[in-house]
Structure 1
Amino acid sequence: MKKTILAAALLSPAVVLADTDLSLQTVTATRLPEQVINDSQFITISRAAIELSNAHSLSELLSLEAGIQFTRNGGHLNTTNLYINGLDNKRILVLVNGERVGSGTSGAADLQLIAPSQVERIEIIRGARGALYGADAQAGVINIITRKDSNGSQVELSAGSDSSRGLSFRTNKTVGDTRVYAALQHDRSVGFDVKDDAETDNDGYERYGLSTGVSHRVDSHQNVKLDYQRNQGTSEYDGNSSSDNTTDFVNQALSAGYLYNDNGLSINASAGRAEDNNWSYKGSESRGSDSLFGTTKNTLNLIGSYELNEHHMLILGGDYLAVDVSESATDYDQKNDNTSGVLTGYRYHRDAFALELGARHDDNNRFGEFSSFNTVASVTAANGGVLSAGHATAYRTPTFNDLYYPGFGNDELVPERSRTWSASYVQPYSSGSVQLNAQRAIFNNQIAYDSSWVARNIGKSSVKAISLTWQQDWTSTLSSKISQDWTDAKNDETGDRLRRISPRSSKGVLYYCSEGFTAQAEALYFEGSPKTDGGERLPSYSLLNLSLNYQVTEAATVGVRVDNLSDREYQTISNYFAPGREWMANVRYDF
């Protein structure tokens, strides 16, 4: 384990999302292999960082980043809600290998179902990207790239508290201009009792994962690829209904892509299909079709850019998204949704100044036409400091549950629209950097649920977020990252703070990387969030976590992670206990 590689992977303040190898290009930030304008909005979590942390879940891994927090209904595979700058996962577009995933009924993607062992890296955009991606990208975009880049093979065994067990295997083979990869994963846990109610039981889970694909370099300018990712299993929970306590899930995403890049012309074409299925039922019984929530998403995308000269670039593209929930047991009044969109953009870069403009027009079969735009500019000072500012609009249509679910759906809902202003300043210096980000998002007709859990439109609401991050290399082996977040999310009509969003959080991570040994210590504090809009707050809480890795041989590494070292009792959602002290040990062997 080389400390120079780890330091670069973990602590570099600048994020470049395009790899020099065309077959490995990732295009989350721009949907094209182009340099980003405001890289303070972008985060990449590398495979090295994932292995250093030994994280149990993607949510815990992401929550170490500034501006990100999560809530969870208990254990690692229970329902999880992620927030970016105070905006929840219904407003975050989630991609797996560039393909849209998530439920059309709930409107959210189940990030907790993807095991960290299957992930090569995670690319995050903090901020609205509606002009690029269309609906659901009001808070940002998260792209999860599966284990396709690492050469060779690896097997990993893990065991821990609550009788947790895990096994994963991945391999990657290159023959000529063709690369083939595959990764398999299985883990299970008896869990713990997640809810303070009359039913005393452990809520465990079992999960299987598969990632596989192939990419082929046609020539020095063209690349084609095919990716497939699947997760399935069972998760136990304590819900509000005495009739159901178990969820079975089967989620999968298939995508095919073509990338061309030569002489200033870039073209990215892709097609994909994603399925999100889950069944809720009493664990003593068998699941049936009458308990299915099922979503199928089909996509087509084509986007291209052309460099007029070294300073000017034009972007043009279009896409199509079709969502079908007809397999669901719930009798929704409408069961299909489709949106076609066209987009255009302009980029300018000269010396210390950079500018990006984008506009998009969408046509939705249920709600009509929408227009979105974004603009961002950055200036680099002589001392290396970078000042950036942007403005963007975005929208989100109501989910099928929002509109039609019996008991709390409201078919009079209208789409919500948002307008976001952002600004940042990054000051690098010889041994680190300081970064300040600020964002203000204003919503018209934001969709929320009242105290009776009936969907409604809030006439006007706003979310303000500020984060300050300091990264420092103290020595060649010791580094740290400290961040402070402030979030003010409220209903502007009533003045009530929106539920479940912590108004203040503090995060500190200390990294130690020497030859053959690494350590990561995490200290986190979250101020209590409102249980309901404007309601009583949950108690504040703090956590201490520790991860250690030791390289036994050139090929073998052992690791251990302990979460909640002080065994603090806390809740991120009212009446649902979070895990107490947990530990997980693992052995990785590369060959």
Structure 2
Amino acid sequence: MRIRIVALCAPGFLLPAIGAAQPQVTDLAPIIVSASRDAEPAADAPASVSVITRDDIERTQPQSVLDLLRTQAGIDVSSNGGLGSFSSVFLRGAESDQVLVLIDGVRAASSTAGLFSFQQLNPAQIERIEIVRGPRSTLYGSDAIGGVIQIFTRKLDGPSASIEGGSYDTYRAQAGYGGGSDTVRYSVNGAYVDSDGFSASNEDAGEFVFDPDDDGYDEASVTASLDATLSERANLSVNGWRSDGKLELDQGLTDTRNSTIGLNLDFDTLPGWQQSFGFGYARDDQATDFSGFFSSAETDRVTFNWQNELSLGAAHQLTLGADYYRDAGLYADDFSAYDQDANDIGVYANMRSTFGRNDVQLGLRYDEHSEFGGHTTGQLALGRQLTESLRGFAAFGTAFRAPSLNDLFFPNFSNPEL
């Protein structure tokens, strides 16, 4: 078990001795799944890819996931306050609702606003983050215009615990345990953060927006996973995440609850043919009381995926699949309300081929959205290994974003003709 108290500095003097006692390890290129929806070395992906590992998180000790993302090329982060405040992430200039966010493979953005609450993620519960820049609608459908950010939750091996404290009366705690056997592994990881925060208002901005009290934040979250080997050819994985946060705004209060659960069944159908069936559920609830004006939004999303990976010889990999998701949203305030839903079904194909030092990736997809209609997207990527340590690629792709439920149905501001 590791107990870490940030205020103590003595353990830092032990690091050189500990490092000297460890054998030299050769870093291997990380294996990613977000660029092509199947496993491949990050160095071989014909796309601009970054991976934030658990080692990176331990080394940098970020206050939030936003601290990790803002260090990456092509990403801009905007926050309107301190810890837990509303934030936006822009990838390659695309708006926040034009970046697909996945948690353990599950679409995590709100169905109403189309945005994801990055501030709800706790770095203590993250194993790695994969960032793929550029259009990816051919593989994922709607929203993947600027790219894809996929967060993988942490799976513990044994006990883990930490306690931290810092400025603005900020305290963090994390505790979890992971174990199992050769055929069944499980992990549970809980985290809590509490901060008095600071006032983000400008005292010169006027009485209406200025409130000298601090913008406090507290959040409790838990992740859980179960991985089971059902047979020599079949594996089952279940991953879940839940976060409840409360943010004290100037003249207001916001409660946010987010959760995702994903289930995947993978099996080898025949030699060279792997199938996977996936189910995902995401929920995003938010209630705000601002100077007596109350509003609430309750959204959920159900997703299904069927994917086939076919090895056509050593140099060719064909991926065929189909996606379905249904969005449902309920919004209400003191003057208006709506309760609506929409759905999308998509089919896709992606071929990756290697010819000596050259790689080619070609993909095509068709989506049919219940409100937005049909859309066809495609991508072509060419890569070449120039030297042993240098690789070049060029890529072209198209992408789209289907309107969110707010875009379609929000009272007095929506456009049902989208």
Call closer, same or farther: CA 1:325–1:205 in 2, change over 3 Å. Answer: same
Query: What is the correspondence of 1:55-204 to structure 2 with a 5 Å cutoff?
Result: 55-148=62-155, 150-196=156-202, 197=205, 198-204=210-216
Q: What does the per-residue CA deviation read over 1:284-315, in whole Å, with 9 as the maximum and x for residues that have no partner?
A: x8x9xx62111100000011111111122222
In 2: Cα distance, 1:182 partner to 1:6 partner: 31
In 2: Cα distance, 1:218 partner to 1:333 partner: 44
- Residue 228 of structure 1: CA displacement? 1.1
- The residue that corresponds to 2:7 in the other structure is none
- The residue that corresponds to 1:373 in the other structure is 378
In 2: Cα distance, 1:410 partner to 1:177 partner: 51
- The residue that corresponds to 1:347 in the other structure is 352
Query: What is the correspondence of 1:391-402 to structure 2 with a 5 Å cutoff?
Result: 391-402=396-407
- Asked whether 1:360 is paired with 2:365, we answer yes
- The residue that corresponds to 2:15 in the other structure is none
Conserved 8 A contact 2:254-2:287: yes
- The residue that corresponds to 1:540 in the other structure is none
Conserved 8 A contact 1:234-1:249: yes
Query: What is the correspondence of 1:453-532 to structure 2 with a 5 Å cutoff?
Result: none
- Residue 39 of structure 1: CA displacement? 5.4
Conserved 8 A contact 2:197-2:217: yes
In 1: Cα distance, 2:161 partner to 2:308 partner: 39
> Identity over the aligned pairs, expressed in percent?
26
- Asked whether 1:264 is paired with 2:267, we answer no
TM-score normalised over the length of structure 1? 0.63
- The residue that corresponds to 2:14 in the other structure is none
Conserved 8 A contact 1:120-1:147: yes
Q: Secondary structure at the match of 2:31?
A: coil
- Residue 166 of structure 1: CA displacement? 1.1
Q: What does the per-residue CA deviation read over 1:240-286, in whole Å, with 9 as the maximum and x for residues that have no partner?
A: xxxx5111011111111112246322222110111000100148x8x
- The residue that corresponds to 2:323 in the other structure is 319
Q: What does the per-residue CA deviation read over 1:492-537, in whole Å, with 9 as the maximum and x for residues that have no partner?
A: xxxxxxxxxxxxxxxxxxxxxxxxxxxxxxxxxxxxxxxxxxxxxx
In 2: Cα distance, 1:82 partner to 1:339 partner: 25
- The residue that corresponds to 2:31 in the other structure is 16
Conserved 8 A contact 1:338-1:364: yes
Amino acid at match of 2:327: V
Conserved 8 A contact 1:245-1:282: yes
Conserved 8 A contact 1:38-1:377: no
Conserved 8 A contact 1:232-1:248: yes
In 2: Cα distance, 1:406 partner to 1:209 partner: 33
- Asked whether 1:222 is paired with 2:234, we answer yes
Call closer, same or farther: CA 1:6–1:46 in 2, change over 3 Å. Answer: farther
Amino acid at match of 1:47: R
Q: Secondary structure at the match of 2:330?
A: coil
Amino acid at match of 2:168: D
- Residue 106 of structure 1: CA displacement? 1.5
Conserved 8 A contact 1:294-1:328: no
Call closer, same or farther: CA 1:65–1:151 in 2, change over 3 Å. Answer: same
Amino acid at match of 1:291: S
- The residue that corresponds to 2:283 in the other structure is 275
- Residue 33 of structure 1: CA displacement? 2.7
Conserved 8 A contact 2:46-2:383: no
- Residue 332 of structure 1: CA displacement? 5.6
Conserved 8 A contact 1:166-1:185: yes
Conserved 8 A contact 1:106-1:400: yes
Call closer, same or farther: CA 1:313–1:85 in 2, change over 3 Å. Answer: same
- Asked whether 1:309 is paired with 2:331, we answer no
- Residue 90 of structure 1: CA displacement? 0.6
In 1: Cα distance, 2:215 partner to 2:354 partner: 54
Call closer, same or farther: CA 1:279–1:391 in 2, change over 3 Å. Answer: same
Q: Secondary structure at the match of 2:97?
A: helix
Structure 2 runs not aligned, ≥5 long? 1-17
Amino acid at match of 2:182: G
In 2: Cα distance, 1:44 partner to 1:114 partner: 17
TM-score normalised over the length of structure 2? 0.87
Say how many residue pairs are matched: 391
Q: Secondary structure at the match of 2:200?
A: coil
Q: What does the per-residue CA deviation read over 1:353-375, in whole Å, with 9 as the maximum and x for residues that have no partner?
A: 11011111001111110111111
Structure 1 runs not aligned, ≥5 long? 18-26, 239-243, 415-591
In 1: Cα distance, 2:407 partner to 2:317 partner: 40
In 1: Cα distance, 2:246 partner to 2:25 partner: 37
Measured on the aligned residues, the alpha-carbon RMSD in Å equals 2.4
- The residue that corresponds to 2:394 in the other structure is 389
- Asked whether 1:234 is paired with 2:246, we answer yes
Q: Secondary structure at the match of 1:212?
A: strand
Amino acid at match of 1:316: L
Of the three residues 253, 264, 271, the one matched with 1:246 is 253
Conserved 8 A contact 2:162-2:174: yes
In 2: Cα distance, 1:214 partner to 1:90 partner: 31
- Residue 404 of structure 1: CA displacement? 3.7
Call closer, same or farther: CA 1:93–1:406 in 2, change over 3 Å. Answer: same
- The residue that corresponds to 2:415 in the other structure is 411
Q: Secondary structure at the match of 1:112?
A: helix
